[in-house]
Structures are given as structure tokens and as C-alpha cells.
Amino acid sequence: MHFYILTLFPDLIRQIMQTSIIGRAVNSGILTFEAVNIRDYTTDKHKKVDDYPYGGGAGMVMQAQPVYDAWKAVREKIGPDHTSVRTIYLTPQAPVFSQQMAKTFAKEQHLILLCGHYEGIDERVLEEIVTDYLSIGDYVLTGGELPAMVLADAVSRMVPGVLANEQSGSTESLEGSLLEYPQYSRPEEWNHKKVPAVLLSGNHANVDAWRREQSILRTIERRPDLLSQADLTEKERETYL
């Protein structure tokens, strides 16, 4: 999977992508990240990439030309064989990104992520290049870089081979719209609190049943809004809801 991130702050992207699990996947060649500096593509002699908004108002708007030329350079690099490469613009004015979307995007070979700054990007270039508008939540950040990294991280860990244990990508929070069960590690007793006995029993069927129940109870308590779409059996619905 190849990520291309169009940004005014490429160093920020490079820092994040060199670390942790994602960094390992980059080193092993499963993922590539290319941070493309939009400023490198401006034709303005002072390297300017923004200007005042027509109609007035606060702040500056990123101009169409450097964004378009940076995108075109990436698009040409990917090549004409890949006709339907998605270009995702991170913006709070969009549907909220989800685990389900992460799984869908993980099937793509290439993803272009566009990060905005200031008061946004000239609408005309967005109309030309963007295929998907996505938000990471109902709050406003200072730029699209952190949202792009959130999306890239969530998508990356759904790419086969990125997680050491393939299973941990599926039996986890939000699988089937349920939250994950609580986890425990050594010691068996800490701060006068014992690990639930069933987890020490060695009976895998009982462990699975307990974890399933904990997932359901936790979702009811913490995210009841997920229940309407949760994968519950008839019996579970009768028992818990």
C-alpha cells in the first residue's frame, strides 16, 4: 500500500511514519509513505501558497495552483494504469471516518491524502481532484496532517502483514460494532484486585463466552449508540437489551 500525503508540513508526517508498528511495516516494504510538500509546486516567486478569500473574511485560503500541480505530480508518478486512485481530503465538513472505512481503504493499492490549512483550500481544485471528503470527528483542528495520520494509521493496520498477529486486526474494538473486552496481564493480583478467575481456568470456551459477554456489557455501558448496528444473536438481544 502506497500513501502520498500532500501537505505544507512534510517533516511532521515523516516523523510520525518512522515510528512504531507503521515504521516497521515501512521498513519491511509493506507500506510506503511519501510526504509531498505542496510549497515545492508553487509558481509564485515568493513561494506563496495562500491568499485572501474572495468576499472577505478572516484567514487565508490555500490556492488552487500549487495544490493541483502537487497532486498532478503524484498522479503521474502512480501512472496511467491506475485509473481510480482515491484522493481523500481531510476536513471537518465531511462524514466521520470509521473502522469500516479503514477496512475498505486497506484494499486500495494507492491512497492520496490532501491536508488543508488556514481557512481551507480553493473549492475549484477540490472539485477537480477529491474523490472522498472525510472528517475524523466533530471538532476542528489547525490542519489536516493529524487527521491524515489518524486515517493512515487506521488503514495501515488493516493491510495484511502490518500487524504481527493477523488475529488482532479482527477480534478487537469495533469489530461487529462491539467494544473490546477488558484485558489483564501478570501479576494475578495487583493492588488487591484479582484477575477474573475464568481467564486463569484454561477453559477456552468459557473464556470466549466471558469475553463476548464483557464486550456486550461494555458496549451497553460506554457506547449504547453502537448497539443498533451491533452483530448480536437473537438470544443475546433478548438477554442483554
Q: Which is nearer to ligand ADE, 54 or 139 (CB)?
A: 139
Cβ–Cβ under 8 Å, residues 148 and 113? yes
CB of 141 to ligand ADE, least distance (A): 4
Buried b (16+ CB within 10 A) or exposed e, 82-96: eeebebbbbbbebee
In angstroms, the CA 153 to CA 151 distance is 5
> What values do phi and psi take at 68, rounded to 5?
-65, -45
Which is closer to ligand ADE, CB of 53 or CB of 92?
92
Closest separation between CB of residue 231 and ligand ADE, Å?
27
Pick between residue 138 and residue 189 the one whose CB is nearest to ligand ADE.
138
Residue 176 CB neighbour total at 10 angstroms: 13
* Residue closer to ligand ADE, measured from CB, 64 or 141: 141
Q: Which residues bind ligand ADE (CB under 6 A)?
A: 90-92, 135-137, 139-141, 144, 147
Q: Which residues pair with 86 in a beta bridge?
A: 111
Q: State in angstroms the smallest separation of the CB of 120 from ligand ADE.
A: 9
- Gap between the Cα atoms of 4 and 88, Å rounded: 10
**In this structure, what DSSP letter does residue 52 have?**
P
Min CB(165)–ligand ADE separation in Å:
30
Q: Could you tell me the three cell numbers for 182? A: 477488558
Residue nearer to ligand ADE on the CB measure, 148 or 158 = 148
CB of 58 to ligand ADE, least distance (A): 16
Nearest-angstrom CA–CA distance, 12 and 205? 46
